[in-house]
Amino acid sequence: MPKAYVIVDMDVTDPDRYATDYVPLSGPSVEAAGGRYLARGGETEVLEGDARPHRTVIIEFESFEAATAWYDSPAYREARAAREGAAVGSFIAVEGV
């Protein structure tokens, strides 16, 4: 079964709330779902196109089903609620090859 990845582009609007409310919940929710961070907010450079990334995160899961189950899990729903007002972003699940 191919692995899957969740690619996140997060615009952090309130860094203090993001760090104290969201981060302590999001990391454990990923780990509990068997996910593994491959990138978590490092330096980015647009090599082609007009994208304007913010904080980029890439998470690896064992399957597409595991990735989408994590996003819909009670633990991550709690993290998403804690993130409200501190950041906005996009999450894309993609099946690996």
Tell me, which fold does domain 4-44+52-95 have in CATH? Alpha-Beta Plaits (3.30.70)
Instruction: Band the pLDDT of 2: cuts 50, 70, 90.
Output: confident
- Tens-place pLDDT, residues 61-80: 999 999 999 999 999 999 99
Instruction: Band the pLDDT of 3: cuts 50, 70, 90.
Output: very high
Instruction: Band the pLDDT of 17: cuts 50, 70, 90.
Output: very high
Q: What is the pTM of this model?
A: 0.93
**Helices 74-83 and 23-32: crossing angle, nearest 10°?**
160
Calpha distance 82→85 (Å, rounded) = 8
